[in-house]
Amino acid sequence: MRKLLIILIGVIILYLSSIIYREKTTPVTTTFPLKHLGEEPKSEAKLNLILFFSMNNCPPCLKVIDFLNQPPEGVRVVGIIPEKEIHLLSEIRQTTGAAFPIYGVKQWKRYRPIYAPTLFGVGGNGIIYFMLPCVGLEETYLPVYLDEFMRKARYLLQAPKR
């Protein structure tokens, strides 16, 4: 009887440790907390483009901002900058021409990419569909890429919110 109790305790410990392991190994890039990005526009965005960038990025890499200032219909754009640059927000807007909302990275540190600027494509349900490093050539391919993505992933973007 004592042997069976020890086996039962071992199985319970193994089960609980597998649950903990699964939670720890879930990649951070599966979902994005959209609720902290402010209110959604009246026509609900099907795709959220979140640009992690810094004022210190090279000017050609920040040319993507020109495209993001006039996003396609159904796309909401938000910028996220380092916390130490948040007090320079008016200077950043003046330098880059960014017309979209910009927030500090404090709430999204877990999602901060290694390379900046990086553009995240996030569905309305928080699922991250793509991450594109911005290297200065986005004005060439990004409009076509987004058009194709919106066309092919229409059923994904219309999925119910979690």
Enter the CATH code of domain 28-157: 3.40.30.10
Position with higher pLDDT, 161 vs 150: 150
Which among 37, 74, 58 is positioned nearest to 115, based on CA atoms? Answer: 58
**Average pLDDT over every residue of 60-84:** 91
- Split at pLDDT 50, 70, 90, the class of 45 is low
Looking at residue 52, its pLDDT comes to 95
pLDDT of amino acid 85 = 92
- Checking if the pLDDT of 84 tops 80, the result is yes
* One-letter identity of residue 28: V
Instruction: Give kind and range of the element (H or E) at residue 47.
Output: strand 47-52
CA distance 35 to 159: 17
Q: What is the CA radius of gyration of the chain?
A: 20
Are 64 and 139 within 8 A, CB to CB?
yes
Q: Which residues are registered as beta bridge partners of 78?
A: 50
3-state SS class at 33: coil
Is residue 161 pLDDT above 70, yes or no? no
What is the overall mean pLDDT for the chain?
85
Q: pLDDT band at residue 42, thresholds of 50, 70 and 90?
A: very low
CB atoms within 10 A of CB 54: 16
Residue 36 has pLDDT above 70, yes or no: no
List pLDDT tens digits, range 89-109: 999 999 999 999 999 998 888
- DSSP letter, residue 69: T
Distances (CA, A) of 121 to 18, 51, 108, 145: 31, 9, 15, 11
